[in-house]
Structure 1
């Protein structure tokens, strides 16, 4: 649980995912389109991935919709439904504002 909490705290926008999860990919692309480069942790590539999965459930991630598990500013936001709902309401931009990257185009 410490590793999950540390990752969520140390990175602005974190997506816990599995490499085969298309919804995780879609959420990652959404954040990138909004100007945020999320930290993506594919737990199926982590040696302690099973423990991380259990920690996410203990932290309140719905076990039925485990991936993606999205954290913003160290706090659990939720999964795809929560991210998309906030995006459609126009509230997601407010949450991610501190983490938007300034990209220069030349």
Structure 2
């Protein structure tokens, strides 16, 4: 049986402490990746423009984002749960909840 797009995203998101769905050349995706790298996190990166199911995954991520923004990428999962896009990641970073969230997920050992 073929794996559904939803099942694939769940499997990928649960596979590592932090998973970032991106497209190459996206400046917001770059910002989130650099923030995570700068904090000492080694996220799993899924580049949708290099994935044959990229368009289907992108459509699912748009639904997860609730249609609030036109650009659901980057889509960040922490501990298998959907955190959100750049706005959610930056808000957590600014209010001080990002590092504890990353620690709880096992992405940081500080």
> Is the shorter-chain TM-score for this pair beyond 0.5, marking a shared fold?
yes
2:28 and 2:86 in contact (8 A); partners too: yes
**Structure 1 pair 20/41, CA: closer, same or farther in 2 (3 Å)?**
same
Q: d(CA) in 2 for partners of 1:99 and 1:61? A: 26
Structure 2 residue corresponding to 1:99, chosen from 91, 107, 110:
107
Q: Could you tell which deviates more after superposition, 57-66 or 70-79?
A: 57-66
Correspondence 1:74 to 2:80: yes
Q: Could you tell which deviates more after superposition, 59-68 or 14-23?
A: 59-68
Superposition deviation, residue 65 in structure 1: 2.5
* 1:1-106 correspondence runs (5 A): 1-60=6-65, 62=67, 64-97=70-103, 98-100=106-108
Match of 2:3 in 1: none
Structure 2: stretches of 5+ with no match in the other structure: 1-5
Q: d(CA) in 2 for partners of 1:72 and 1:56? A: 15
Superposition deviation, residue 60 in structure 1: 3.6
- TM-score after normalising by structure 1: 0.88
Q: Which segments of structure 1 move beyond 2 Å, counting only runs of 4 or more?
A: 57-63
**Structure 1 pair 35/18, CA: closer, same or farther in 2 (3 Å)?**
same
Q: d(CA) in 2 for partners of 1:27 and 1:14? A: 11
Structure 1: stretches of 5+ with no match in the other structure: none
Superposition deviation, residue 45 in structure 1: 0.3
